[in-house]
Every structure is written in structure tokens, then in C-alpha cells.
Amino acid sequence: MTTTPTAGTSAPTVTPTVAAVVRVRRSRRTRRALVCLVLVVVVVAALGASLVYGQTVYSPREVLDVVLGRDVPGASFTVGRLRLPRAVLGLLAGTAFGLAGVAFQTMLRNPLASPDVIGISAGASTAAAFGIVTLGLSGTAVSTFAIVASLAVALTIYALSFKDGVAGIRLILIGIGIAAMLESLTTYVLSRAAQWDLQEATRWLTGSLNGARWSDVVPVLVAVVVLAPVLLHRSRDLWSMQLGDDTAAALGTRVERTRLLVVLAAVGLIAFATAATGPIAFVAFLAGPIAARLVGPGASLFVPAALVGAALVLVGDLAGQYAFDHRYPVGVMTGVLGAPYLVYLIVRTNRAGGSL
């Protein structure tokens, strides 16, 4: 289907309605492209800033040299070994959280049904903390463990909310209950560790990029490279499912297969990212609604939401590190930022008279 004004030339005349539709579609496309462009610029700028800025400020030229693999005294270690993995991990984790969040929100047709509200991130976090602290796992084993656990949690929530069909409201409330339980399990696991390490605790309770290494980055990179295309490939089907399962099936969407693939991909993204960074609070929840506000109605939100997620994590990490006297982990920043937005969302939805 084309959206250029010539689309109507096959008909004898272009009716004003068609012309209006075409105009609106074109302006939406322009807006979407523009928004994505701005977001890319923001992400790249934040990425650059987190490489350049720090205790020692290196020039962009030195940073570029390091990124290209040349040996620069001092900068090779600071930028190449410390800042680069941290920034890349932030970028990837933000992307993963943004994609998974908007996938769940779209599939469940509710902006509140993001993985961090309904307990799936909490499941991954509990599993990762248990795997690392109690079982002494590391690397891929942790990610696998987190994936299995989050899938089990997702399944449990779905099964528990099944009663004459799954009502979205029930699913959210049950998710809140499960999340509360899992968070206290996480606290328990941490309290059984040799000592109460506040750094470690913050990582698994709110999420942090501290101490990121390349070995943390690789699994997340693989997850994003493999799973993001699955989501993008299914995006048209997913958005047609917003009209209801029956309508979507009539439009040619294979509803069950789409739902299964989307859940698997989204849970995978959450689990891999969480295993590396902890559940960075509210990123999955915020990315979708912010992207929707920026882009406007009507289109797939995957790309803008992924960009918003990455921007949130990178900017949040920068602000947490350098905006205050003390360095805060990124999860504390996004947690402080996200809750007022949730309140705003509740207030706005209520005023519009919509149902939550």
C-alpha cells in the first residue's frame, strides 16, 4: 500500500476524505522518522558523553582511537576497559528493556502491564541473585537460569489470572502480588550472602551498571541481536492483535503463534538484560508510553521504544554518576523518575475516563 498522493489516481477522482487520510498518514510518517532521528542523536550523544566524561576527561579524538582499537596510553584502560563496556551494556540493556516492555504492554493492551510491574523482571532478578549468590553460577549459566525462572513466573502469573478467561486487571494485580513475593525472596537471598553488600544489593533490587565487563555484555548483545528481529518481524501482527484476537485472525494473523513468539522473545530479552544489570527500575515500563507520546498513534512502537529505553538508561547512568555529589546506580535514578510518571499515567487515564 502506498501513501503518496498518487495512491488515489487509479480512482477517477481523489475524494477529500482520501486526501485527508493520505495527508495525516504522511505527516505521521514524517513525525515518526523525525522522532526516531532525534532519539538516535540523543542515544549517540549520551553514549559519547559517557565515554568522554569521567574523572579524567579524554578528547573525543582519543576516545575514537580507543574505540577503533588503537593503543592510547591511559585512555585504553579507562575508556576501553571501564567506560566502553559500561556504556555498551547500558545501551543494550536499555534496548532490551524498552523492546520487552512495549511488547508486553501492546500484547496485554495495557500500559501498566509491563514486565517490571507484573513481576517478570522480579523473577529474573531473584533467579539471577540466587544463581550468583547462593549457587555460585556465573556467565551463561546465570542467564539461562534467569530465563527459565522468568518464563516460569510468566506462566504462573498467566495461569493464576485465568478464571473464565484472563482479565487484564486480574493479571496486573496478581503480578503485583508475585512481584512483592519475589522481591522479598531476593532480599532473603542477599541477606544469606556472606555479608550485606550494599552495592550488590542495589544491583539486584533496583539495577545498576557498576562493574560492567565485556563478559557481561556479550550475552545481552547476542540476545538483542537474535530476539529483537523476532519482535520486529511480528510487529505488524502484534499491532493488529490490538483490535482483538478475532479481528486479528480475520486479518490473517496467526494469533497463538504470534503471542507465543512475542512472549518468548520478550521474556528472553528481560532475562538476559536483568542477569547482567539487575532489574533497572521502570525502564521497561516507561519506554513504551514515552515513545507513544512522542510518535503519536498508529504505528509500531518497537523502534522508538527501544531507542527511548537506551536513552533512559544511558542518560540515567550519566546523571546518577555525575549530577550529584555522590554516585548513584542507574536503577535509583530511573526508579525516582519512573514512579511520578506512573502516578501521572494513572491520573491522566482516569481523567480521560478510560479503564485501567
Partner 1 sequence: MSLAARPAPEAAGRSSTGVALRRPRRVRATALLLLLALLVLAALASVAIGSRNVGWSDIVAGLTGSQGSIAEAAVAKRVPRTLLAAVVGAALGVSGAVMQGVTRNPLADPGVLGINMGASLAVVVGIAWFGLAAPSAFIWVAIAGAGATSVFVYTVGSLGRSGPTPLKLALAGAATTAAFSAFVVAVTLPRADIGASVRSWQIGGVGGASFDTLTLVLPFLAAGAVLSLLAAGGLNALALGDDVASGLGQRVALTRGSAALGSVLLCGAATAVCGPIGFVGLVVPHLCRLLAGVDHRWLLPCSALTGAVLLTASDVLGRIVARPGEIDVGIITSLVGAPFFIYVVRRQKARAL
**Residues in 227-246 at the binding interface with partner 1, rule: CB under 8 A:** none
356 binds partner 1 per the rule CB under 8 A: yes
- Identify which of residues 20 and 356 has a Cβ nearer to partner 1 in the complex: 356
* Nearest distance from C-beta of residue 289 to partner 1, angstroms: 13
Residues in the chain: 356
Contact 187, 197 (CB under 8 A): no
Contact residue for partner 1 among 38, 108, 185, 193 (CB under 8 A): 185
CA 275, CA 128: separation in Å to the nearest integer?
A: 5
* Nearest distance from C-beta of residue 290 to partner 1, angstroms: 16
The DSSP 8-state label assigned to residue 132 in this structure reads: I
For 6, other C-beta atoms within 10 Å of its C-beta total 10
Contact 180, 116 (CB under 8 A): no
349 binds partner 1 per the rule CB under 8 A: yes
Per the structure block, which three cell numbers stand in for 177?
Answer: 502480588
312 binds partner 1 per the rule CB under 8 A: no
Contact stretch for partner 1 (CB under 8 A) within 26-34, 67-75, 242-250, 331-339:
331-339
176 binds partner 1 per the rule CB under 8 A: yes
Supply the angle between the helices 168-192 and 140-160 in degrees, to the nearest 10: 140
**Residues in 84-113 at the binding interface with partner 1, rule: CB under 8 A:** 112
CA 240, CA 249: separation in Å to the nearest integer?
A: 9
Contact 284, 114 (CB under 8 A): yes
Per the structure block, which three cell numbers stand in for 239?
Answer: 499491532
Site track for partner 1 across 253-292, x = CB under 8 A: ----------------------------xx----------
Contact residue for partner 1 among 30, 134, 184, 247 (CB under 8 A): 184
- Identify which of residues 116 and 216 has a Cβ nearer to partner 1 in the complex: 116
Contact residue for partner 1 among 3, 144, 187, 210 (CB under 8 A): 187
- Those residues whose C-beta lies under 8 Å from the C-beta of residue 97, and which sit 6 or more positions away, are 116, 269, 270, 273, 280, 283, 284, 287, 309, 313
Contact 101, 113 (CB under 8 A): no
193 binds partner 1 per the rule CB under 8 A: no
- Those residues whose C-beta lies under 8 Å from the C-beta of residue 136, and which sit 6 or more positions away, are none
- Identify which of residues 171 and 291 has a Cβ nearer to partner 1 in the complex: 171
Interface ranges with partner 1 (CB under 8 A): 112, 117, 160-161, 163, 167, 169-170, 172-174, 176-181, 183-185, 187-188, 191-192, 196, 198, 201-202, 205-206, 281-282, 325-326, 328, 331-332, 335-336, 338-340, 342-343, 346-347, 349-351, 353, 356
